Amino acid sequence: MCGIVGAIAERNISNVLLEGLKRLEYRGYDSAGLTVIRDGQLHRERQVGKVQALVDAVNNDAENFKGNIGIAHTRWATHGEPAQHNAHPHVSGKVAVVHNGIVENYKPLKDELIKKGYTFTSQTDTEVVAHLIAEAYKDTKDLLKAVELIVPRLHGAFALGVVHVDNPDELITVRLGSPLVIGVGIGENFIASDQLALLPVTNRFMYLEEGDIAMVKRDSIEVFADGQPVERAITELDAKHHNADKGEFKHYMLKEIYEQPDAVARTLAMGIDATDLKADFLASHEAELAKVKHIQVLACGTSYHAGMVAKYWFESLTKLPCSVEVASEFRYRNPVVVDDTLVVCLSQSGETADTLSALRETQRRAKSGEIKGMTTLSICNVATSSLVRETEIFIPTLAGVEVGVASTKAFTTQLAALMLLVLKVGKVQHRIDSDVLSSIVTDMHQLKGYLDRSLALDQSIANLSQMFEAKKSTLFLGRGMQFPIALEGALKLKEISYIHAEGYAAGELKHGPLALVDKDMPIVVLAPRDSMLDKLKANMQEVHARHGELFVFASENSELESDERMHVIHVPEVCEYLAPIVYSIPIQFLSYHVAVMRGTDVDQPRNLAKSVTVE
Ligand code: F6R
């Protein structure tokens, strides 16, 4: 989604802005732009396509882009096609604005501004904001006051960066529903949608609250909420978990696949010692967890698939009912949430608008007394995100920064964190047998080894992936805890290789999708040796009989071997509960290699964004 970077300093800031935009590329965008104030003028450049096109254009006119204050933006089109005239910053006279999010009521505001004589050069909602500020400034002659006056008129969720030619020592920023962080330097300060953009210039950050408006100067930051000055703490980040370098890998996605054994082990280590849960794991929340009668998982996309696995775990290990729903549906269907529900929100970014609004809807209903005894918990990869700040309990996934749009290590670490939660709730409520718990914990200690061995499948899956290159469609099948992994396999393949793919519970095959099966349809099957294997083998026979080509990821002891129309890749055998984590690796490799072969943009697939901050 859109990315904002802004800077005010004694030095020339155009390279800080451009480097910041490059570091936000992972969010997904279709055009980029920047403006700096120099010699009492706004110098603006905007380009459709990659940030590099903007870098080249700015470098061609480097003298004019030397400035001490500026704002920059990557745009992910919502209102108006990806085009230069729609790219940010948008300018009204001496005001320039960059914007992330949506101004829902832009149409009546635009009509009002047209009546006042303003002309519009774009189809965006953002241009309305620039004109409104310019109009308010006519009276206030004070940029902060002008912004404070117009913000209440804007409906929606958004973040803004604003500069004005007559105020070259003031950078104004607003956070209202979209992420925005202030980077604190020495004699210079910065703003960005994500701290990642600013790591080359600072590791000290101030996280704004929703509704905050900040006046950022070179040597001061003042934050206002409802017009009153407020204090916001400065957090120092440990840079070692924020290394966003590709290293020797060709793509971030590949690097992130390879980071999983360590990331999963690190996440599990938060909660386990030799054969049991650590005594201090979620110790301060035992009272809330002890009264939970129902679990409601809310998430989107890949995170939703992690939630689906957790449903199998919760219900089979603790016998507590668990519902899982995509946040965008839950939010609007007026769902029943029973008393004493633990609402578990899963998100890599912690800024996903759908997940946040579903959470807020449950909180609104709890506050009104409609739901009693509700507790909220987030499992998230960004400790400073909105989701974490708005939930009562937080379990971090220690994946480190994930840059590839296709989520990999964030997914498997979510699974690791979810299993810790299942065990904790089971233990606190005496719902899980201590031998079962200790056997799962023992297996968790071996998981890193199994994941390392799964990485060794890289080359054989790369060889297999050639057979998918020219295909139009693929089915992924799994049963039980592997069904969500089949869904995840299909999502991964479609999002980065653009091959249509569907995930199915294998038992559903004969209820419809079998009609698609012929010799041209590759069918990927997840076949660990578990309680469902015999049933799954019968489903595979149904495919075989219709000349479908099977690609089977199976346990070493599954007694499945390759034949003419069945390609078997052996995956390390692991206990049934942890198998979804291990089987995630082959499906990630498969989608990765198919995408590389098809020449798609693996790390930034078309039309997608890493942090989906609009509903
Ligand atoms: C797919 C993918 C997305 C995200 C979804 C939710 O690879 O990454 O489906 O899982 O957009 O994002 P988060 O987890 O940040 O809430």
CA distance 40 to 50: 29
Residue 608 is predicted with a pLDDT of 84
| Of residues 46, 66, 43, 62, the one with CA closest to residue 54 | 46
β-pair type (322-326, 95-103): unpaired
Q: Give every CB contact of residue 303 below 8 A, 6+ residues apart in sequence.
A: 346, 347, 348, 352, 355, 407, 410, 411, 414
Residue 386 is predicted with a pLDDT of 86
CA distance 41 to 93: 10
What is the reported pTM? 0.80
The helix/strand/coil state of 45 is strand
Residue 615 is predicted with a pLDDT of 74
Confirm if 240 and 233 have CB atoms less than 8 A apart: no
Tell me the residue ranges of DSSP E strands in 249-404.
294-299, 322-326, 341-347, 375-380, 393-396
CA distance 468 to 602: 16
Six token digits for residue 357: 């609004």
**Does ligand 1 come within 6 angstroms of the Cβ of 124?**
no
Residue 401 is predicted with a pLDDT of 87
**415 CA from centroid of ligand 1 (Å):** 14
Residue 598's Cβ-count burial label (10 Å; 0-12, 13-18, 19+) is: middle
Indicate the top mutation candidate among 298, 600, 612 to test ligand 1's pocket, ranked by most ligand atoms within 8 A of CB: 612
**97 CA from centroid of ligand 1 (Å):** 28
For residue 612, the Cα-to-chain-centroid distance in whole angstroms is 7
Six token digits for residue 558: 């599954």
Q: Longest C-alpha distance within the chain, in Å?
A: 80
| Of residues 236, 235, 255, 238, the one with CA closest to residue 246 | 255
β-pair type (500-505, 473-478): parallel
| Of residues 135, 35, 138, 136, the one with CA closest to residue 87 | 35
CA distance 186 to 5: 18
CA distance 31 to 54: 9
φ/ψ region of 324 (left if φ > 0, alpha if ψ in -120 to 50, else beta) reads: beta
Residue 544 is predicted with a pLDDT of 86
Residue 241 is predicted with a pLDDT of 53
User: Which neighbouring-strand residues pair with 213?
Assistant: 174, 224
User: Which neighbouring-strand residues pair with 302?
Assistant: none
Ligand 1 atom at minimal distance to the Cα of residue 302: 10
Q: Give every CB contact of residue 111 below 8 A, 6+ residues apart in sequence.
A: none
Six token digits for residue 181: 């962080």
| Of residues 138, 193, 169, 126, the one with CA closest to residue 37 | 169
**Does ligand 1 come within 6 angstroms of the Cβ of 588?**
no
Catalytic residues: 2, 610
SS3 per residue for 511-577:
HCHHHHCCCCCEEEEEECCCCCHHHHHHHHHHHHCCCCEEEEEEECCCCCCCECCEEEEEECCCCCC
Ligand 1 atom at minimal distance to the Cα of residue 408: 7
Question: Rounded to 5 degrees, what are φ and ψ at 282?
Answer: 55, 25
Peptide bond preceding 89 in cis form (omega within 30 of 0): yes
**Does ligand 1 come within 6 angstroms of the Cβ of 347?**
yes
**Does ligand 1 come within 6 angstroms of the Cβ of 358?**
no
Confirm if 372 and 289 have CB atoms less than 8 A apart: no
**96 CA from centroid of ligand 1 (Å):** 32
Residue 240 is predicted with a pLDDT of 53
**Does ligand 1 come within 6 angstroms of the Cβ of 306?**
no
Residue with tokens 């729609």: 86
Residue 243 is predicted with a pLDDT of 59
Alpha carbon separation from 237 to 243, 353, 382, 535 (Å, rounded) = 12, 25, 12, 50
**423 CA from centroid of ligand 1 (Å):** 25
* Residue nearest (by alpha carbon) to ligand 1 atom 10: 302
Name all domains of the chain by residue range, CATH numbers in brackets. 3-241 (3.60.20.10), 251-455 (3.40.50.10490), 456-615 (3.40.50.10490)
**Does ligand 1 come within 6 angstroms of the Cβ of 300?**
yes
* Residue nearest (by alpha carbon) to ligand 1 atom 16: 347
Residue 81 is predicted with a pLDDT of 87
In the DSSP assignment, the letter for residue 142 is: -
DSSP 272-297: B-SSSB-TTTTGGGHHHHHT--EEEE
Q: Does the CA dihedral 347-348-350-354 come out positive or negative?
A: negative
| Of residues 588, 413, 412, the one with CA closest to residue 495 | 588
Residue 148 is predicted with a pLDDT of 97
* Residue nearest (by alpha carbon) to ligand 1 atom 3: 301
**405 CA from centroid of ligand 1 (Å):** 8
CA distance 171 to 232: 17
CA distance 526 to 534: 13
**Does ligand 1 come within 6 angstroms of the Cβ of 51?**
no
Residue 427 is predicted with a pLDDT of 97
β-pair type (234-236, 204-207): antiparallel
Confirm if 522 and 490 have CB atoms less than 8 A apart: no
The helix/strand/coil state of 398 is coil
**Does ligand 1 come within 6 angstroms of the Cβ of 352?**
yes
In this structure, the number of other CB atoms found within 10 A of the CB of residue 526 comes to 29
**Does ligand 1 come within 6 angstroms of the Cβ of 614?**
no
- pLDDT under 70: residue ranges of the chain: 238-244
Residue 244 is predicted with a pLDDT of 65
Residue 242 is predicted with a pLDDT of 57
